[in-house]
């Protein structure tokens, strides 16, 4: 729970203004907003990388304002935008090992977790390869793997879909679903409206350091004025449905998924052919 939190950078820029936010355990939450809205600053406060200049953050009723980053990073894992900001080891295996060392695990446990993570992320064949020679998509995968192997309760992703091809995106969505099933709380910062519309049940919209909307993602995208304030675009499926509505196809604006559109059009065509 974030209560009346604010953050002012040493340069004097007010990055966050009186943020009030409840995030529930096991929830999948999206954070969207234009560049410079304060999204990354908000997530950096969650594991103590920066301390709020006002207000408090509570995790399971415990105020975390005085907790160290090392303590918080055991509970909260953040995958940052640029994977090359964290890759440095001689091999992919070592990269995962580095993330596990600080958890005070036995050698056997570390090896078990490395093998499990490499297997889950299809990185086994690259085990001995230098992480610096990986492609953009693979390095992003490794950055995610090096956080997930720590098994934190909360996973935060900053622009995970950026620069990912369709296959990599699908892989990422599978990871998200798998971690959600394990009961993890997942927070995703994204500009990708297609992704958020189809996969994130709840989204908060931010502008100029403030939360301007919080609610079910599909409901938020019904409000065009609100979306335009955040410099986002309405997802393709929603635009298509609105266009159908304008053409006189009744209730088309209520459709929210590809399947429902296909079903609707199928019924419509059948009715048309019958008449």
Partner 1 sequence: MSLEFLNAFKFMKKDSFFHNLDPRSKLIFAIIYTISALLFKQIVPLLIIFISLIPLILFGKLFKQWVKSIRGLSFLIIFIVLLNTLFLSLSFAIAMIIRILIMVSAFSLFFLTVDPNDLALSLISMKVPYEFAFSFSLAFRFVPTIAKEAQNILDAQQSRGYEMQKKGLISQIKNLFPLLIPLIVCSIRRAFNVAEALESRAFGSRKERSFYYSIKYSLKDWIFTIYLLFILVLFIVVRINFNIMPEFLTWSFPV
- Chain residues in the site for partner 1 (CB under 8 A): 10-11, 44, 47, 49, 69-70, 73-74, 76-80, 82, 84-88, 98-99, 101-103, 132, 146-147, 150
Is the Cβ of residue 106 or residue 250 nearer to partner 1 in the bound state?
Answer: 106
Nearest approach in angstroms of CB 90 to partner 1 is 10
Nearest approach in angstroms of CB 144 to partner 1 is 11
Nearest approach in angstroms of CB 234 to partner 1 is 31
By C-alpha distance, which of 179, 192, 104 is closest to 145? 179
Nearest approach in angstroms of CB 85 to partner 1 is 4
Is the Cβ of residue 41 or residue 256 nearer to partner 1 in the bound state?
Answer: 41
Is the Cβ of residue 141 or residue 218 nearer to partner 1 in the bound state?
Answer: 141
Is the Cβ of residue 37 or residue 255 nearer to partner 1 in the bound state?
Answer: 37
Nearest approach in angstroms of CB 98 to partner 1 is 7
Are 55 and 7 a contacting pair, CB within 8 Å? no
Are 147 and 79 a contacting pair, CB within 8 Å? yes
Is the Cβ of residue 80 or residue 171 nearer to partner 1 in the bound state?
Answer: 80
Are 45 and 126 a contacting pair, CB within 8 Å? no
Is the Cβ of residue 71 or residue 174 nearer to partner 1 in the bound state?
Answer: 71
Nearest approach in angstroms of CB 52 to partner 1 is 15
């Amino acid at each position: 729970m974030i209560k009346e939190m604010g953050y002012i950078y040493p340069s004097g820029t007010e990055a966050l203004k009186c943020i009030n936010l409840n995030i529930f355990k096991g929830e999948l939450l999206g954070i969207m907003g234009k560049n410079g809205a304060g999204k990354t600053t908000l997530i950096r406060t969650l594991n103590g990388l920066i301390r709020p200049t006002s207000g408090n953050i509570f995790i399971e009723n415990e105020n975390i304002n005085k907790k160290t980053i090392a303590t918080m990073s055991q509970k909260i894992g953040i995958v940052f935008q640029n994977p090359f900001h964290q890759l440095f080891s001689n091999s992919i295996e070592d990269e995962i090992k580095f993330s596990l060392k600080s958890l005070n695990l036995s050698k056997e446990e570390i090896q078990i977790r490395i093998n499990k993570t490499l297997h889950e992320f299809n990185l086994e064949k690259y085990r001995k390869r230098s992480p610096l020679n990986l492609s953009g998509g693979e390095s992003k995968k490794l950055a995610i793997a090096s956080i997930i192997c720590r098994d934190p309760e909360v996973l935060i992703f900053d622009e995970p879909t950026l620069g990912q091809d369709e296959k990599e995106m699908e892989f990422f969505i599978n990871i998200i679903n798998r971690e959600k099933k394990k009961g993890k709380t997942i927070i995703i910062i994204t500009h990708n409206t297609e992704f958020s519309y189809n996969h994130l049940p709840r989204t908060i919209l931010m502008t100029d350091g403030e939360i301007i909307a919080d609610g079910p993602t599909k409901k938020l995208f019904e409000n065009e004025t609100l979306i335009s304030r955040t410099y986002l675009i309405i997802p393709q499926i929603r635009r298509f449905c609105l266009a159908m509505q304008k053409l006189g196809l009744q209730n088309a604006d209520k459709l929210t998924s590809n399947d429902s559109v296909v079903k609707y059009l199928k019924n419509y065509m059948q009715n048309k052919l019958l008449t």
